[in-house]
Amino acid sequence: MAPNFRELPEKIRVATGERMRAIADAPSVRKMRARVAALAEREWKRIVRLAAPAWTVAYGWYSKREQREKVLLRALALVLGVIVLYNFVYIPIAGLSGGFGDEVAVRQQQLSDTRALMRSYDRLKVELAGTEKRTVPSADFSLFSVIEQSLTKSIGHEKIGSITPSDHPVPGGYQEYTVDLKLAGLNLAQIVDALYGVQTLPMPVTVSDLHVRQRDQDPHTYDVDMTCVALGRNG
């Protein structure tokens, strides 16, 4: 019978596949695979065992940092992570399909992005330092008492209609203290004195909201709704 050349490539492929499977299933090859797998597992366990003390020390050191230091460390880790990803992941992959010109463009973009990230990191660092300077001492701090004493001194306690304090945590390990005030029957000079007294307190307190309403029965006096805010650190 004449050979069928159309079926010959398929027969060669099948024969080659069977030969490769036979080689892969050979006892010597199986033993080699088992030895390689065992060696890889043993080396991995050794690396994990050697790295465990350093990881424990690093984690313990990080846990003892203050909240603002943790924020800075996370931002720095983000910057370094982006740099590592660009250098050891993105650039090698891009280099496989691009030429020298593409690699130069990628490195220029990487440099530009890294500089932008560093500028963002420096800006966040400055903002965080500024926020730290604008915080009040959290230990036994009472914005209610501070504002009440200031207004009693500047306009008199009888002008205070109500004082409603509240506080809640904000991101970054801070606590926001708020006092809502209702002042009644103030003249313009007393309004100025009240605001001046709050703004010149020895701790950073901000007037975040102010509404002044003229009284119908006396056009020279006013009712004032005011909100004062201060920022402190948790703990």
pLDDT in tens, 44-62: 888 878 877 877 877 777 7
Rounded-to-integer distance, Cα 117 and Cα 99, Å = 27
- Within 8 A by CB and 6+ apart from 178, the residues are 143, 165, 166, 167, 208, 227, 228, 229
CB 141: neighbour CB atoms within 10 A?
18
Nearest Cα to Cα of residue 235 among 146, 179, 178, 174: 174
**Domain spans, the chain:** 8-54, 66-133, 137-233
Least confident of 74-78, 106-110, 208-212: 106-110
Residue 60 CA, distance from chain mean position: 20
**What angle, rounded to 10 degrees, do the helices at 143-154 and 188-199 form?**
140
Mean pLDDT on 195-199:
90
Quote the mean pLDDT of the chain.
Answer: 78
Give the CATH H-level superfamily of domain 137-233: Ribosomal protein S6/Translation elongation factor EF1B (3.30.70.60)
**What are the residues facing 186 on neighbouring strands?**
222
Q: Is pLDDT at 211 greater than 90 in this prediction? A: yes
Q: Is pLDDT at 205 greater than 90 in this prediction? A: no
| C-alpha dihedral sign at 14, 17, 22, 23 | positive
Of all residues in the chain, what percent carry a pLDDT higher than 70? 74
Q: Cβ(127)–Cβ(143) under 8 Å?
A: no
Mean pLDDT on 72-101:
73
pLDDT of the residue at 22: 63
C-alpha radius of gyration, the chain, whole number: 35
Mean pLDDT on 153-176:
87
